[in-house]
Structure 1
Amino acid sequence: MPKKNQPLNLEDIAERAGVSRSTVSRVINNEPYVSQKTRMKVEQVIEEVGFTPNPVARMLVTQKTRIIGVVIPHTLDDVFDDPFYFPTLLQGVAETTNANDYGMLLWLGQSDEDEARFHRRVLQNRLMDGLILVSIRVNDPWIEQLLESDIPFTMVERPRQFEEHVSYVGLDNVQAAQMAVKHLIGLGYQRIGTITGALDNYDALDRLDGYKIALENAGRDVDETLIADGDFRYQSGYDAMQYLLSQGVDAVFAASDRMAMGALQALQEADLRVPDDVALVGFDDLPGALRSKPPLTTIHQPIRQKGARAAEILLNLIEGEITAPQQVILPTKLVVRQSCGGAD
């Protein structure tokens, strides 16, 4: 029996349950070849004494840490410029990891750190069983490096390279952007501009493609002077709208709600009415979209669900429940409010 105040170990649990130490180990690690009756007896003893397995010993046996990494290769300022998107996505990841007794390690980039060094720090860290990649840049070597390694990973966007080899959870951003622009076309707007996201981002490229396809499907030419570069952040939306006003737009599709909010400020400072003078549509359906004046028409995407599903797929890969890449496209919908003049 253990001394007073000394933690219990597997031998103690085995003695109390009347089984071998190896049987207790198999029960704790959820391994087969243990009868249901024996498993229940061991689990009852574990619950009665409040036994918690030594995580280091468990790691040595299972070769797993029960920790996943989430890589967002952007600076802290960039990540939390939007106080809702990334926190909500991470909440979804955390819900899945917590429910499955996993931990989460967050990796953020630093403006003064060499990109290759950041990659090495993450990939050479042995504390993680797998990775979730979030908002990685186009042509970033993350995907290729991970495919060459034995590290399970998933992505929170649809990649344009190696798509068939990668597990991901994303949106049909092309179709969603088409839906937004088609709505503006249907309301009769003629000079429809767009504020793009950062064009080294997969989602931003797809949303720009959707904008162009919607115009072409309506028999309209794509006017490159009505395309303003943004980077998903508030200030870029403000700056881009000032440029688009000089081009005589009567409607704008912004590739994120944060940019749409910045664009709205620029319109208000120019004493222009929304939607009477310029209509505005965003993307994300953040809480601020409903509170803005006027409330913002936008594309709704299930942000928390994206994180939760990406984590679910990763845990299944880690635990061998699946081996083939899994691709999940979540639904989006157009939420019509007052900023485009199409609300009831």
Structure 2
Amino acid sequence: MAATLKMVAEAANVSIRTAGRALSGSGPVKSEVAKRVLAAARELHYVPNAAARNLKQQASRIVGIISGKSFFNECGQRRVRMLEEALREAKHYTLLGGLPGSQEELNELLRSWTGIVEAVIFLAWPPGWNAERLSSLPIRFLFIDCELSGDGYDRIETDRTSGVAAAVTELIRAGRRRIVRVGMDGAVGRRAGFEQAVAAAGEITSGFIATEGLEFADGFTAGDAIIAFGADAVFFDTDRMALGFYRYASERGVTIPEKVAVAGFDDDAAGAFAIPALTTVAHPDAETVARAVEKILSPAEGAPELVVYPARLVRRESISS
């Protein structure tokens, strides 16, 4: 049986509170009493419960990060890396966890982190999950680009709508008149941005090609439908899909941008090295990470905050006039 603080206090003939102060150095204790407590702790091989102490003091200097499927693509990995670097500069460490399959499993994971982490940053949150169920946990939470209902937590979001609208407007300015969006129907911000740009331009024939995922293979598979539509421009929900279409175009002799202009979303590094270099929409990662770290390391004061940063259009060679 592991020694407890109570056992140390009894062996040193002092109160539990005095024993705790002597071992932590957090309060005045007479020298002879402190020596007696330390001797008892050594004799009993007492090991302080760091998790319990951190829970009480909220000073573990550890921040949890919960990531979803995005961790397996470049965009998600980049954001995690930037958070880790920024927290390290602030002399904090990170504990990375994957998003479990159910909210019950998530609550179990977070309970195991209680007393270990000062706060948790979510990079993913499934639609339909109830964030209010987290309120019983003594942990501070912040959500980045999560589709969260309610306003009970601090949130930082990317204005995807304006970013997509800027990319589609760029396609239209290049003289393209048959434009399709390729992606998943649930991407609300991307859909809104696409429709906004098309409506503002007028006299544009537009369409939507639904895919099962957002990966390279999904962009490749959409190729036949893109050509059948007669598209002269395509906006892909992710750069990975756009680069999958690059492979399709290469195999079928479809020239980019001469026959089909292409734009994507995420600013993956591979897009800059593709031929032609891919026009894309970049996340405001620097601003998002800086604000997240500032917020999570500051005292929790006032009402929860929602901060929205605009996405940024990166013009490259895959669109031409």
> What is the TM-score when the length of structure 2 is the normalising length?
0.77
Write out aligned runs for 1:208-223 (5 A): 208-220=191-203, 223=206
Structure 2 counterparts to residues 313-328 of structure 1, below 5 A: 313-316=295-298, 319-320=299-300, 322-328=301-307
CA–CA distance in structure 2, aligned partners of residues 218 and 140 of structure 1: 38
Distance of 1:71 and 1:12 partners within structure 2 = 34
**1:293 Cα deviation after fit:** 0.5
RMSD between aligned residues: 3.0
Partner of 2:121: 132
- The alpha-carbon distance between structure 1 residues 242 and 256, as it changes in their structure 2 partners (threshold 3 A), is same
Q: Aligned-pair distance for 1:56?
A: 5.2
Cα 1:23–1:336 change in 2 (3 A) is: farther
Q: Give the number of aligned pairs.
A: 282
* Residue range with higher mean Cα deviation, 127-136 or 171-180: 127-136
Q: How far does the alpha carbon of each residue in 1:201-246 deviate from its partner, in whole angstroms, 9 at most, with x for none?
A: xxx320111101111122247744x333353322222222332222
Matched, 1:311 2:299: no
Change (3 A) 1:60 1:208: closer
Q: Are the counterparts in 1 of residues 123 and 146 from structure 2 also a CA contact under 8 Å?
A: no
Higher RCO, Cα 8 Å, sep 6+: 1
The one-letter code matched in structure 2 to 1:339 is S
Q: 2:187 matched to 1:187? A: no
Displacement of 1:251 after TM fit? Answer: 0.5
1:330 corresponds in structure 2 to: 309
**Runs (4+) off by over 4 Å:** 9-14, 53-58, 147-150, 220-224
List alignment gaps of at least 5 residues for structure 2.
1-19, 30-47
Aligned to 1:22: 27
Shift of 1:139: 2.2
Measure, in 2, the Cα distance between the counterparts of 1:13 and 1:139: 45
After TM superposition, give the deviation of residue 266 of structure 1 in Å: 1.3
Unaligned runs of 5+ in 1: 1-8, 15-20, 25-52
Aligned partner of 1:70 in structure 2 is 65
Amino acid at match of 1:213: Q
Deviation string 1:178-221 (CA, Å, 9 cap, x unpaired) is 1111111111111101122x445xxx320111101111122247
Choose from 235, 246, 254 the match for 1:264: 246
Question: Match of 2:320?
Answer: 341
Contact 1:194/1:227 (8 A) holds in 2: yes
Cα distance, 1:60–1:282 mapped onto 2, change above 3 Å: closer
Closer, same or farther: CA 149–266 of 1 in aligned 2, 3 Å: same
1:171 matched residue in structure 2:
158
CA distance in 2, matches of 1:298, 1:222: 22
Asked which structure has the greater CA Rg, the reply is 2
Deviations 1:53-93 (A, max 9, x none): 9955852651443322211233xxx632x2x2122101221
The secondary structure found in structure 2 opposite 1:179 is helix
Q: TM-score, normalised by structure 1?
A: 0.72
Give me the whole-angstrom Cα distance separating, in 2, the residues matched to 1:60 and 1:109. Answer: 23
Q: What amino acid is the match of 1:333?
A: R
Residues of 1 paired with 2:103 and 2:146: CA distance?
Answer: 23
Q: Summarize deviations over 1:249-303 as a string: whole Å, max 9, x none.
A: 1100112211111121111111100001110011122221210000111112233
What is the identity, as a one-letter code, of the residue corresponding to 2:313? L
Alpha-carbon shift at residue 13 of structure 1 (Å): 11
Aligned to 2:39: none
Identity %: 26
Work out the CA distance in 2 between the residues paired with 1:264 and 1:230. Answer: 19
**Contact 1:241 1:263 survives alignment (8 Å):** yes
The 1:58/1:273 distance shift into structure 2, 3 A limit, reads same
| Aligned equivalent of 1:157 | 145
2:260 partner letter: V
Distance in 2 between the 1:191 and 1:230 partners?
23
Give me the whole-angstrom Cα distance separating, in 2, the residues matched to 1:165 and 1:323.
11
